[in-house]
Amino acid sequence: MKLTNYDIIIRPIITEKTMNQMALRQYTFLVHPDANKSMIKRAVEEIFGVKVESVKTMNYQGKRKRVGLSFGKKPDYKKAIVKLTEDSKAIEFFEGFGA
């Protein structure tokens, strides 16, 4: 199945750290684990109408959780830090995008 732009970019990750990185034109997103850098780059450019300079991604193992005797596992996830080019406009979250 082909991933749409909105399947790739799940939500922005907003923490103190990512807020500080925004000043450096780096925006952090939770992305689909199967998406690769070029897919993420295209998705961000299309959704926000910006120009992307580079994308760094990282995969995370979901945490193991225990409820009583049974073990479970939170889903794995992928994080992407997207750096915009200097002449690109900034991304404004909070406008139709869930925080």
Partner 1 sequence: MNTKVERLENNVVKIEVTVPADKFKEALKKSYEKNASRFNVPGFRKGKAPMAIVERYYGEGVFYEDAINFIVEETYPKVVEENDIHPVDYPELDIIQIGKNVDFIYTAKVIVKPEVKLGQYKGLEATKISYMVTDEDVEAELNMLKEKNARIIVKEDGTIEKGDIAVIDFEGFIDGKPFEGGKAENYELVIGSLTFIPGFEDQLVGAKKGDTVDVNVTFPEDYHVESLKGKPALFKVTIKEIKTKEYPVVDDEFAKDVSEFETLEELKADIRKKLQEANEKRAKMELEDQLVGKVVNASEVDIPEVMINQEIDYMIKDMDYRLRYQGLNINQYLEMMGITMEDLRRDFKEVATNRVKTSLVLEAIAKAEGITATEEEIEKRAEEIAKRYGVKDIERMKKAIIESQRALIAEEIVNNKVIDLIVNESKIIIG
CA pseudo-torsion sign 63, 8, 33, 82:
negative
Q: Minimum distance from CB of 17 to partner 1 (Å)?
A: 8
DSSP state letters, 52-64: EEEEEEEEEPPPE
Stretch that binds partner 1, among 11-19, 53-61, 66-74, 76-84 (CB under 8 A): 11-19
C-beta of 3 vs 14, nearer to partner 1: 14
Q: Footprint of partner 1 on residues 17-76 (CB under 8 A)?
A: 18-19
Q: Minimum distance from CB of 35 to partner 1 (Å)?
A: 22
Strands 70-73 and 77-84: what pairing?
unpaired
Stretch that binds partner 1, among 8-16, 33-41, 45-53, 77-85 (CB under 8 A): 8-16
* 45 membership: H or E segment, kind and range: helix 37-48
How is residue 87 annotated by DSSP?
Answer: T
Measured CA to CA, the distance from residue 83 to residue 71 in angstroms comes to 38
15 forms part of the interface with partner 1 (CB under 8 A): yes
Residues at the contact surface with partner 1, assessed by CB under 8 A: 13-16, 18-19, 94, 99
